[in-house]
Amino acid sequence: MHDTQHEPGALFYDPATDKVGEYQDRSGPYAMLRPVGGGREWQADPATLRPATAEERLSAGVRAANRRARTDAPFMVGIGTPRPPVPEPDCAECEDLGARRESARAAHDWSAETDANVLLRGHQRRAHRTRGE
């Protein structure tokens, strides 16, 4: 695999993990892949990667959609999953973190969306003395 030919987001099959992942970048001798739909990156041997087949891409997309449906469903709100924090009006940091969350959500990067929620809750506790959920 030659990294110069691959854009971030290209889907590859990693035989070592038997998973399809989105190519992120190189880290030393490794290719960095992330699960379709977001999640923790893993290191892969670039020599063993191959482009994912149409069936593998579809299967990975369905798994990601099913994970989202289980975790993002409206009926789950309030049942062990805290509501997303609401940015305080007229606070630049709240607005920035809220915008970061929306960008991550639009990119289906659930990990970055969660990070923005955690940072927003911490900021609100410190700056606005809210109790956080």
pLDDT in tens, 76-124: 444 555 678 899 989 999 999 999 999 988 888 888 888 888 899 989 9
69 — alpha (psi -120 to 50), left (phi > 0) or beta?
alpha
Separation of alpha carbons 39 and 84, rounded Å: 19
Share of the chain above pLDDT 90, in %: 50
Domain ranges for the chain, please list them.
Answer: 8-72, 84-127
Q: Is pLDDT at 126 greater than 60 in this prediction? A: yes
Q: Is pLDDT at 1 greater than 80 in this prediction? A: no
The upper half-sphere exposure of residue 47, i.e. CA atoms within 13 Å in the direction of its Cβ, equals 1
The predicted model scores a pTM of: 0.51
Cα 7 from chain centre = 17
Measured in Å, how far apart are the chain's first and last C-alpha atoms?
Answer: 46
